[in-house]
Structure 1
């Protein structure tokens, strides 16, 4: 980018001042949208406030990478109803759309263009993708999560799976309107959310756990509670004023952020997904220490399996099953599944009542019983 368009309102009043003098005088109060002069990129970039530099950097990197996608794929990226975009070895683009499930489009991404795109994404993230390291797990400049494969492991045909960051909340009423949830369950679930239930959302890969979590979290809008959100990849949408959003980095693990959250005085702690014993252990301690109304997702096929999965994670750091800690912390378990046509639905919403030590099973009760 050789030039940047700049407009200084102050210059309209003080024509004799140079563009650079105005920047040096008050750079923090100059918005990019307020600029109208053309100046060299390098000369102005160094004077811009940090937040503008970041905006420009993301835009530049995005333009270069997205130029390889083409207009048709960019249209899919902008579609708020689409949450996944996948490239298979046949070159066809496939998507996963809310309410419709997965389907094949007539869009083809040529091998050369796909490879160039993947290499650009790797460069942006200071990563390497090669024959020796053919797998790239990273994010686009705009935050979308992407998994890329190249080389012999995919027979020379690039493959990627792009998970979009949600830009739209599908409220629980949408689940009712599309037949995914009965109205009586929705009403009871909303009541439990407002009463501060800690909720575990279970499901397989791509079943829509985060989408459902966002629908439930949407019921908290308007709350005065201090909400702490912790994620590996920013996917949770929370339309609440008093919130802190924490994201892991190369140097800071999710467990580290969970420990930090205990000193942030949060009323509610929401975690995108817990995958280790340490993460589950800290989250349960937080929920059992007075934080109410939290959410967490986990890979499991039903409510019983979800709680057992938590138990198994905990056994990696302790020799004694932490059953009491689990049943005290987790109040509700929701399971979301996919049908054969790839559309999803809520299969069960269970209340955690206790544990049957004789049969080694959690005691669960249907939400509306």
Structure 2
């Protein structure tokens, strides 16, 4: 009887607990998300995904819960597996507005984690949470279909968590049986062979034996080809840096000239993030080549731009080693990471607004 009463009491506590929307940065919780958090969160667990320790198991649990509770706005697809057998997820977020069932919905794709590490994946999960959990962002998921690939190098992420924090490659074993790992961010086919060839498998920037040789690259490419017809924007989120960058990565000049529009949107995103974040460093905007100061061949942004997607960017998030150096000379402001995370999301909203503006212009031109 005592055991039964204890179980009943625990069930009652779980069912009656109430998590504040403000805890996750929302003004109002979407009903399904509120039910999910109230039903599943244990007392020792973090309420919001951005505060959790992010790993492959975290994503399994989180996406399983989203599918169970918020399937009306979220679809999670297992799009492939890595060399070590970890899932590559495609998260689709969209709320079909009444009366628009036959209308083609434009796509925005966000992809994170090519260069291993946790920071970019953490931001991608935070963006998913904001879109799904916060009722005030409902218009954003009615007008746009968000396709988010939240972790495109989970093997590298796990390896960097426990062994080598600066690791950037995947963990696929080389044919020589000695070295391992390919830099996924240099494995796409656009201009893959244009840079000086790196054949040393021990190199941190080893691009592989051929373009699109890796499961992770194939996964991203297949997603891009799947949605390219309706895709209006692509953003590759990567760690260690503080900038929004546009094509090209492989050369200072070459290929079709950059449109004034893509440069303008990059500037608007940078301005929004700088306004919102009050950062200790300025969020920059420039071409990928100019920011790196050298060619980066086999880049997914270049590949996507050449597919015809009009707004394509690489976004560097969190300062990495620069932040460690700065923190030795001055204390970081209270709530700095919270402010920075939300400032990045304000940049995502600015990109969304640019897509909506483009669609409005196209529609007006068709009418007249």
TM-score using structure 1 length: 0.27
Structure of higher RCO (CA pairs closer than 8 Å, 6+ residues apart): 2
Task: Give the greater-gyration-radius structure (CA).
Answer: 1
Specify which structure has the higher proportion of strand: 1
Specify which structure has the higher proportion of helix: 2
